[in-house]
Chain A
Amino acid sequence: MIKEKKIQTLKNAVLNSYSQIFFSENKIFALLLIIVSFLDFWAGIYGLISVLTANITAYILGYDKTLIKKGAYGFNALLTGLGTGIIFQPSIELTVIVIFGALLTFFVTVALQGILAKYALPYLSIPFLLGIWAIILATKDFTALGLSERNIYTYNELYALGGKTLINIYEKFENINGFESLKIYFLSLGAVFFQNNILAGIIIASGLLYFSRIAFSLSLIGFYAAYLFYGLTGADFSALAYTFIGFNYILTSVAAGAYFVIPSERSYLWTLLLLPVTVIITASLEHVFSVWQISIYSLPFNIAVLLFIYALKLRVRKNSKLTDTFVRQETPEKSLYLFHTASEEFKNKNYFPIGLPVKGDWSISQAHDGKYTHKDKWRHAWDFVITDEKKLQYKNKGDYLEDYYCFDKPVFAPAAGIIAEVADGIPDNNIGDVNVEQNWGNSIVIKHGEYLYSQISHLKEGSIKVRKGDFVKKGDLLANVGNSGYSPYPHLHFQIQATPYIGSETLDYPLHNYIIRKNGKTELVTFGKPEEGETTAPASSEKILENALHLVPGKNLSVNLKSSEKNITEEWKINKDIWNRTFITDKEDSKAWFYENDSGLYFSNFTGNKKSLLFIIFKALYNTNKSFYKGTEITSSIRPDLFFGKLILTLQDFAAPFCIFLKAEFKMTYTEKDDDFIPEFVKTESTISKTIFGKVKEKEHFTVIFHKSGETEIKFDNNILSIKPLKKTILNQTAK
Chain B
Amino acid sequence: MKEKLKYERPIITKINAGVTDKFGMRPKMPAIKEIDGVPVDTIIEKYGSPTFVISEKTIRDTLKEAKRAFTTRYPKVKFAWSYKTNYLNAVCKIFHDEGSWAEVVSGFEYDKALANGVPGNQIIFNGPDKSKEDLIKAAENGSYIHIDHFDELYDIISISETTTKRPKVAIRVNMDTGIYPQWDRFGFNYENGEAWNALNRIMMSDKLELTGLHTHIGTYMMTPEPYAVAASKLAELAVRLERKFNHKIKYIDMGGGFASKNTLKGAYLPGKDTFPGFDKYAEAVSNALINSELDPNEMPVLFLETGRALIDDAGYITGSVLANKRLANGRRSMIIDTGVNMLFTSFWYEHEIYPAKDVSSHAEDTTIYGPLCMNIDVIRSAVKFPLLQKGDKYVIKRTGAYNMTQWMQFITLRPKIILIDTQGNTHVIRENETNESLTSHEKVPEHLNKPKK
**Residue ranges of A at the interface with B (Cβ–Cβ < 8 Å):** 358-362, 386, 388-389, 395, 405-406, 408-410, 473, 475-477, 538, 540, 543, 674-678, 680
Contacts and interface: CB of A to CB of B under 8 A. Distances in A.
Contact of A359 (B71, B121, B301): B71
13 contacts: A359-B74, A360-B70, A389-B61, A389-B64, A409-B72, A410-B72, A543-B298, A674-B121, A676-B99, A677-B76, A677-B250, A678-B211, A680-B142
Nearest to A395: B65
A475 B298 CA distance: 12
A386 B296 contact: no
Given A475-B296, A543-B298, A675 B121 contact: yes
B372 to A, nearest CB: 39
Interface of A is mostly: loop
Nearest to A538: B75
B301 A360 contact: no
B72 A358 contact: yes
Interface residues of B, number: 29
Nearest to B76: A677
Contacts of A677: 76, 78, 250-251, 301
B250 A678 contact: yes
A678 B143 CA distance: 11
Contacts of A361: 68, 71-72
A108 B411 CA distance: 109
A538 B76 CA distance: 11
A408 B76 CA distance: 20
A360 B64 contact: no
Interface in B60-111: 61, 64-65, 68, 70-76, 78, 99
A359 B72 contact: yes
Q: Which of B75, B211, B283 has the most CB of A within 10 A?
A: B75
A359 B67 CA distance: 12
A406 B71 CA distance: 12
Contacts of A359: 71-75
B122 interface: yes
A359 B122 CA distance: 24
A358 B122 CA distance: 28
Closest 4 CB pairs of A and B: A360-B71, A360-B72, A677-B301, A678-B250
B290 A477 contact: yes
Interface string B288-328: 00110000101001000000000000000000000000000
Contact of B296 (A395, A473, A674): A473
B68 A540 contact: no
B177 interface: no
Given A361-B68, A409-B72, A676-B78, 14 more contacts: A359-B71, A359-B73, A359-B74, A361-B72, A388-B61, A406-B72, A410-B286, A475-B75, A476-B296, A477-B287, A540-B75, A676-B99, A678-B250, A680-B121
B134 interface: no
Contacts of B286: 410
Nearest to A359: B72
Contacts of A410: 72-73, 283, 286
B225 interface: no
Nearest to B74: A359
A386 B71 CA distance: 12
A161 B74 CA distance: 81
Nearest to B71: A360
Contacts of B68: 360-361, 386, 388, 405
A674 B141 CA distance: 13
Contact of B301 (A395, A475, A678): A678
A389 B211 CA distance: 34
A540 B76 contact: yes
A480 to B, nearest CB: 9
Contacts of B184: none
Contact of B251 (A389, A395, A678): A678
Contacts of B74: 359
B194 interface: no
Nearest to B297: A475
B48 to A, nearest CB: 33
A355 to B, nearest CB: 12
